[in-house]
Chains A and B, each alone.
Chain A
Amino acid sequence: MRSSKLVEKYFRTDNLPHLWCPGCSLGIATRALCAAVDELGLDKDKTVIVSGIGCSSRAVGYLDFNTIHTTHGRALAFATGVKLANPELEVIVISGDGDASAIGGNHLIHAARRNIDLTLLVFNNSIYGMTGGQASPSTPQHAKGTTAPYGVVEQPFDLVKLAEGAGATYVARATAYHVNPLIKYYKNAIAHKGFGVVETICICPTYYGRQNRSGSAVEMMQRLKEDYVLNTNYEKMPEEQRQGKKVYGEFVNKILPEYIEEFDRIIADLKGETNV
């Protein structure tokens, strides 16, 4: 569907224009979500989008669904309550890299461990944008943030590996440049029964780009195109071509018992046995 149609159908157009900076890719990710929702034919009334705090989390104000803008880092915990209270609802969480993996890291690993039927979309711009460019757990080592003026000392999280290690049953990554795979992964994650995570590599020309001399938004997008290789292609590449390359693609896609189904099965068995 064309962007203008998607905006008409899924955006709260009264709330536009959005507050994101020129060149920001959060709009691309938000559009991709609408495209995925459209292709899946989700009912807006039965879809809940939960977010935390940060640039990416402001997306919910523009989206015409049941939306809840919660506290910093806690979106997955709120979403867990929404989903358990009414499992018929499709519950999607939008979170930034700081929201999902720093202050909310504990909820990320436990939602994954539970394999609860939620979808987490991490819009990862490698920086705290809303507060003006501080280093996040995704800021590359030695890159600059306002709180890391001499470069970040620590190594960043690999969110895909983190989610996989914690037990997520669908894990994918794409970039704001690779829009078609992005929409596909969003669709697959939402349709997946269990906890699905899609990391979207975004660009932040204003607060990441300026401090790190990353060039214009166009140049940053160009770099996403050049740097990221589909995982299945990466596997076939000779070692010398892999230098400096990063991977996108689907990394985990498996079916394991989902939390709510398992809970309900146990209770049904119990009631059968005890005639409660």
Chain B
Amino acid sequence: MSNRILMQGNRACVEGALYAGMRFYSGYPITPSTEIAEISAQRLPLLGGRFIQMEDEISGIAAAIGASVAGVKSMTATSGPGFSLKQENIGYAAMTEVPLVIVNVMRVGPSTGLPTASSQADIMQARYGSHGDYPIIALSPNSVRETFFLTVRAFNLAEKYRTPVILLTDETIGHSREAIVLAKPGEIEIYDRIQPAYGEEYVPYRIEPGEIVPRMPAYGRGFRYNMSGLFHSETGFPSNSAANAQESSDRLFSKIYDHVEDIVTYEEYELEDADLAFVTFGSTSRSVMAAIKKLRKEGYKVGMFRAVTIWPSPVKQIKALADRVKHIVVAEMNRGQYVCEIERIVQGKVPVSHLGRGNSAILLPEEVSERAKEILK
């Protein structure tokens, strides 16, 4: 009997979260992410976990952070306006280094926008949405299957790097139904945060030799410490020192940017001899892939670079791409966001243009082909 099942993207997200060990979900209903809350509400209690529908988006993420601090892997999901509302506490989790997964099933904005329509216009908000300087990890799946695996990975990265991780899906992926084979127990390695051992000196934000982040004991285990969104010294207590703030900020950034090799994943397709590369991510890559298959048959040297990890961006790979191809087109369902990042990385080495728009119509393979032919004619 085949293990292949037909599953919706939002359900695959919950299945991935449960596989990774998520046992707490708190959130607020919002289209098109609501199924993630509904399915979590149904599944978690039966697995010894807890679900709570909070009074708003802000408390949805706040409770998830609280549960993570108490030692339980936690998730919250939202869309559009809700993602805006969660931003302050995303910054809090980044500052206090609390592992957490935040799912944003992107819809068309700004404001209420088009609640049931797909978009990829929260790319920059995912990176820079909260105030102040902080790093973030954001992953973007392009299928139901990948939603499952990237949700598992989001939890693993959150635990390993003590950071909030954003899973950026979109309405197309969240509401699509595709065949999927879920991983068997034990098939994917699950990473759990390192907790301090009893009997050793515990300094809350000190890093042990050979480790990446400070150890994080669950509240209640006997390591009484203070957590604060104020800049804090390694003791966990507030510090107004500029030198300490610089050192803390450096460490927050280096724990992510010193490990881009581990964090950044991507897919390359037909790039070996390509003159033109489409840089894309998420559901738009499906249209790009379809177009490239057709264009290749017609003899056009076109390929695709798909960022699976959106943030931190794949700087090394994009630089290498700019050395190989003559043109780059960034295809995304927005008016031009990730293209800014790609232009920044490419630094004029080859022409970079944008293919996208501000409405709800997903990019079609024909539009991708048309752009390729215009450039390569």
Residue positions of A touching B, CB distance < 8 A: 12, 15, 44-46, 48, 50, 60-61, 64-71, 74, 76-86, 88-89, 106-107, 109-110, 263, 266-267, 270-271, 276
Q: How far is the CA of A60 from the CA of B227 in the complex (A)?
A: 9
Chain B interfacial residues counted at CB < 8 A: 40
User: B113 in the interface, Cβ–Cβ < 8 Å?
Assistant: no
In the complex formed, the residue of B with least CB distance to A64 is B224
Whether the pair A71, B62 counts as a contact (CB closer than 8 A) is yes
Whether the pair B56, A78 counts as a contact (CB closer than 8 A) is no
Whether the pair A106, B69 counts as a contact (CB closer than 8 A) is no
Nearest 7 interchain pairs by C-beta: A81-B66, A81-B63, A77-B59, A77-B62, A85-B70, A85-B67, A81-B67
Q: How far is the CA of A271 from the CA of B227 in the complex (A)?
A: 37
Chain B nearest CB from A111 CB (Å) reads: 9
User: B346 in the interface, Cβ–Cβ < 8 Å?
Assistant: no
User: B360 in the interface, Cβ–Cβ < 8 Å?
Assistant: no
Chain B nearest CB from A93 CB (Å) reads: 11
Which of B11-19, B44-52, B252-260, B317-325 contacts the other chain?
Answer: B44-52
Q: Name the A residues within 8 Å of B56 (CB-CB).
A: 106
Whether the pair B24, A84 counts as a contact (CB closer than 8 A) is yes
In the complex formed, the residue of B with least CB distance to A50 is B66
Q: Name the A residues within 8 Å of B66 (CB-CB).
A: 50, 68, 77-83, 85
Cross-interface CB contact of A81 among B62, B92, B226, cutoff 8 Å: B62
With contacts A71-B88, A78-B66, A263-B45 taken as known, whether A88 is within 8 angstroms of B220 at the C-beta atoms is yes
User: B299 in the interface, Cβ–Cβ < 8 Å?
Assistant: no
Whether the pair A69, B229 counts as a contact (CB closer than 8 A) is yes
User: B342 in the interface, Cβ–Cβ < 8 Å?
Assistant: no
A selection of 19 A-B contacts at a CB cut-off of 8 Å is A12-B226, A45-B222, A45-B224, A48-B70, A66-B224, A68-B228, A69-B230, A71-B89, A78-B63, A78-B65, A81-B62, A85-B68, A85-B72, A85-B74, A86-B72, A88-B220, A89-B219, A110-B59, A263-B50
Chain A nearest CB from B77 CB (Å) reads: 15
In the complex formed, the residue of B with least CB distance to A74 is B62
Cross-interface CB contact of A82 among B67, B221, B238, cutoff 8 Å: B67
User: B58 in the interface, Cβ–Cβ < 8 Å?
Assistant: yes
Q: How far is the CA of A270 from the CA of B88 in the complex (A)?
A: 38
In the complex formed, the residue of B with least CB distance to A69 is B228
Q: How far is the CA of A270 from the CA of B218 in the complex (A)?
A: 29
Whether the pair A85, B24 counts as a contact (CB closer than 8 A) is yes
Q: How far is the CA of A265 from the CA of B46 in the complex (A)?
A: 12
Q: Name the B residues within 8 Å of A12 (CB-CB).
A: 226, 237
Q: Name the B residues within 8 Å of A89 (CB-CB).
A: 70, 219-220
Q: How far is the CA of A239 from the CA of B89 in the complex (A)?
A: 50
Interface centre among A46, A61, A84, A89, by most chain B C-beta atoms within 10 angstroms, is A84
In the complex formed, the residue of A with least CB distance to B63 is A81
Q: Name the A residues within 8 Å of B220 (CB-CB).
A: 45-46, 48, 66, 86, 88-89
Whether the pair B50, A61 counts as a contact (CB closer than 8 A) is no
User: B108 in the interface, Cβ–Cβ < 8 Å?
Assistant: no
User: B174 in the interface, Cβ–Cβ < 8 Å?
Assistant: no
Whether the pair A84, B228 counts as a contact (CB closer than 8 A) is no
Q: Name the B residues within 8 Å of A82 (CB-CB).
A: 66-67, 69-70, 219
Q: How far is the CA of A206 from the CA of B115 in the complex (A)?
A: 49
Whether the pair A65, B227 counts as a contact (CB closer than 8 A) is no
Chain A nearest CB from B66 CB (Å) reads: 3
Whether the pair B226, A69 counts as a contact (CB closer than 8 A) is yes
Whether the pair A66, B50 counts as a contact (CB closer than 8 A) is no
Cross-interface CB contact of A271 among B24, B46, B92, cutoff 8 Å: B46
Whether the pair A81, B74 counts as a contact (CB closer than 8 A) is yes
